[in-house]
């Protein structure tokens, strides 16, 4: 077995201090750590999402005894505030100052695009546990960048397909004006119009504004058969409450499932039956989901959501890579190969990655019943993002 530089340095220090010529293997293994940079939002409209991802990630590591590929996990954490202008500096802090081995982040597509650029320049391993920016596993795809969540296109496309299948003819769209909103609406339009639907008007407001009233007034005037939106986190909860308070119940509201995930406690009184499409649902009936939900609830006194699942799966993917190389972080090619080939036993159901490193996964139809996003069907089976522009993979 070859001993890499880090190990040799650790060996020298410890052997010197202990006055030993040879260090036992177990002690050598103990000296090794994998340093994980968590770059996520812990403040702002996506704060709860960042916390759920962190919880899910750490839950898996705890289940494996705090170790990954035989190494102790150590963390450096940054609150990225979902602020794209601060993204490069925050990412550089983790990569260049804290010298992390891998970065796990983030939620916001604009921040994640900047992180992907730094990862491409520095060769840092990046695992994205939420942000759906299509380009990250499209034109910016790279051997060292992986995602355990979705592309913005995927749930948008799934929702458009379900709505067209239900013979809904017209829709108005509303979202925040940034990559996630734009791409979610594009995915929606692609499937909805292919199925015969017509988009009457596309409306946007800046992220993370929540002054929805003028848009609700316009929807009432346009009288579409349906409304499609992308909102998430605290902004989604406010939108849903405002929508029904404006008396729009007669115009069915649809959205990618981020509209209801993680916010069911605050919308359950007004939004029973709200139908969305996503790659996760609370009641998915498989042993992994049951075990995951009960240990998450026991540990955090909270119901898990899609964000927690994506964080948990980011840890599973990293574990698959590190175990394959016995924790030898220098063997990046072999590590990436193992990650590419991994079959992740996810609470959402097992999934594999596409060539561009994005999950190929079912898009579930879910209905809000009580506090749960209950799965009532499947909009699209094993949906792969088209990975437009990906050449490197
Ligand atoms: C994104 O910015 O890509 C994003 C944010 C929150 C979500 C989904 C996507 O729930």
pLDDT band at 358 (very low <50, low <70, confident <90, very high): very high
Start-to-end CA distance of the chain, whole Å, equals 31
Average pLDDT of 234-260? 98
pLDDT beyond 60 at 13: no
Long-range contacts of 201-206 (CB under 8 A, 24+ apart): 201/172, 201/173, 202/172, 202/173, 203/172, 203/173, 203/174, 203/175, 204/174, 204/175, 204/176, 204/177, 205/174, 205/176, 205/177, 206/176, 206/177
Q: What is the DSSP letter of 393?
A: -
- Cβ neighbours for 261, distance < 8 A, ≥ 6 positions apart: 232, 278, 280, 305, 306, 307, 373
Ligand 1, pocket-test mutation among 50, 82, 83, 108, most atoms within 8 A of CB: 108
Distance 109 CA to ligand 1 centre (A): 6
Atom of ligand 1 nearest to the CA of 236: 10
Distance 343 CA to ligand 1 centre (A): 24
pLDDT beyond 70 at 4: no
- Ligand 1: residues whose CB is within 6 Å? 46, 107-109, 130-133, 152, 180, 232, 258
Distance CA 79, CA 201 (A): 36
Atom of ligand 1 nearest to the CA of 132: 3
Q: How far is CA 38 from CA 212, 302, 368, in A?
A: 32, 21, 31
Residue nearest to atom 5 of ligand 1 (CA): 108
Q: Which tokens hold the place of 92?
A: 């550089």
Atom of ligand 1 nearest to the CA of 108: 2
Torsion angle of the four alpha carbons 129, 130, 134, 135, in this order, in degrees rounded to the nearest 10: -50
| pLDDT at position 57 | 98
Q: What is the DSSP letter of 207?
A: T
Pairing of strands 198-205, 71-79: unpaired
Q: Express as a percent the part of the chain with pLDDT over 70.
A: 92
DSSP 85-135: GGHHHHHHIIIIIS--SEEE--S-HHHHHHHHHHHHHH--EEEESS---GG
**How many Cβ atoms from other residues are within 10 Å of residue 30's Cβ?**
15
Q: How far is CA 69 from CA 163, 278, 321, in A?
A: 44, 31, 8
Closest CA to 350 of 319, 309, 321, 304: 309
pLDDT beyond 70 at 3: no
Tell me the Cα Rg of the chain. 22
Atom of ligand 1 nearest to the CA of 184: 9
Ligand 1, pocket-test mutation among 41, 45, 46, most atoms within 8 A of CB: 46
Distance 212 CA to ligand 1 centre (A): 19
* Cβ–Cβ under 8 Å, residues 10 and 28: yes
| pLDDT at position 393 | 57
Distance 252 CA to ligand 1 centre (A): 23
Phi-psi region of 385 (alpha: psi -120 to 50; beta: other; left: phi over 0): beta
pLDDT beyond 70 at 254: yes
Average pLDDT of 200-221? 98
Atom of ligand 1 nearest to the CA of 110: 2
Distance 180 CA to ligand 1 centre (A): 6
Distance CA 51, CA 277 (A): 23
Cα 60–Cα 126–Cα 361 angle in degrees, nearest 5: 65
CA count, 13 A, side-chain hemisphere, 370: 6
Model-level pTM greater than 0.75? Answer: yes
pLDDT band at 2 (very low <50, low <70, confident <90, very high): very low
pLDDT digits (tens, 9 = 90+) for 298-335: 999 999 999 999 999 999 999 999 999 999 999 999 99
| pLDDT at position 8 | 38
- Cβ neighbours for 17, distance < 8 A, ≥ 6 positions apart: none
| pLDDT at position 283 | 87
Distance CA 186, CA 139 (A): 17
* Cβ–Cβ under 8 Å, residues 357 and 164: no
* Cβ–Cβ under 8 Å, residues 114 and 88: yes
Distance 251 CA to ligand 1 centre (A): 25
pLDDT beyond 80 at 29: no
Distance 177 CA to ligand 1 centre (A): 12
Distance 7 CA to ligand 1 centre (A): 39
pLDDT band at 16 (very low <50, low <70, confident <90, very high): very low
Atom of ligand 1 nearest to the CA of 307: 10
pLDDT band at 42 (very low <50, low <70, confident <90, very high): very high
* Residue spans of beta strands (DSSP E) within 115-220: 125-128, 145-147, 170-176, 198-205
| pLDDT at position 18 | 41
Ligand 1, pocket-test mutation among 129, 232, 263, 359, most atoms within 8 A of CB: 232
Helix, strand, or coil here: 218? helix
Distance 271 CA to ligand 1 centre (A): 21
pLDDT beyond 70 at 26: no
């Amino acid at each position: 077995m070859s001993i890499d530089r880090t190990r040799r340095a650790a060996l020298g220090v410890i052997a010197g201090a202990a006055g030993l010529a040879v260090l036992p293997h177990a002690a050598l293994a103990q000296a090794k750590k994998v340093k994980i940079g968590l770059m996520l939002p812990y403040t702002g409209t996506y704060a709860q999402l960042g916390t759920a991802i962190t919880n899910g990630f750490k839950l898996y590591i705890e289940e494996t005894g705090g170790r990954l590929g035989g190494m102790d996990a150590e963390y450096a954490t940054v609150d990225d505030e979902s602020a794209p202008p601060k993204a490069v500096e925050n990412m550089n802090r983790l990569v260049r100052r804290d010298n992390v081995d891998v970065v796990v982040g983030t939620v916001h597509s604009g921040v994640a695009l900047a992180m992907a650029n730094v990862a491409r320049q520095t060769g840092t391993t990046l695992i994205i546990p939420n942000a759906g920016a299509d380009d990250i596993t499209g034109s910016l795809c790279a051997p060292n960048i992986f995602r355990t969540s979705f592309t913005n296109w995927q749930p948008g496309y799934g929702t458009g397909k379900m709505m067209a299948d239900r013979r809904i003819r017209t829709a108005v769209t509303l979202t925040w004006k940034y990559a996630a909103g734009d791409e979610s609406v594009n995915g929606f339009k692609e499937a909805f119009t292919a199925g015969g639907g017509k988009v009457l008007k596309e409306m946007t407001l800046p992220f993370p504004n929540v002054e929805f009233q003028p848009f609700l007034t316009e929807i009432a005037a346009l009288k579409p058969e349906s409304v499609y939106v992308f909102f998430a986190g605290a902004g989604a909860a406010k939108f849903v409450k405002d929508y029904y308070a404006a008396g729009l119940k007669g115009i069915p509201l649809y959205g990618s499932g981020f509209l209801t995930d993680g916010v069911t406690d605050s919308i359950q009184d007004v939004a029973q039956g709200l139908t969305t499409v996503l790659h996760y649902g609370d009641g998915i009936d498989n042993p992994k989901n049951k075990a995951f939900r009960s240990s998450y609830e026991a540990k955090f006194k909270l119901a898990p959501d899609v964000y927690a699942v994506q964080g948990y799966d980011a840890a599973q993917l990293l574990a698959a890579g590190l175990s394959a190389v016995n924790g030898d972080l220098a063997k990046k090619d072999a590590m990436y190969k193992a990650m590419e080939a991994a079959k992740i036993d996810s609470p959402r159901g097992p999934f594999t990655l596409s060539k561009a490193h994005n999950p190929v996964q079912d898009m579930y139809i879910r209905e809000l019943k009580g506090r749960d996003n209950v799965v009532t069907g499947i909009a699209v089976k094993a949906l792969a993002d088209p990975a437009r522009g990906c050449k490197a993979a």
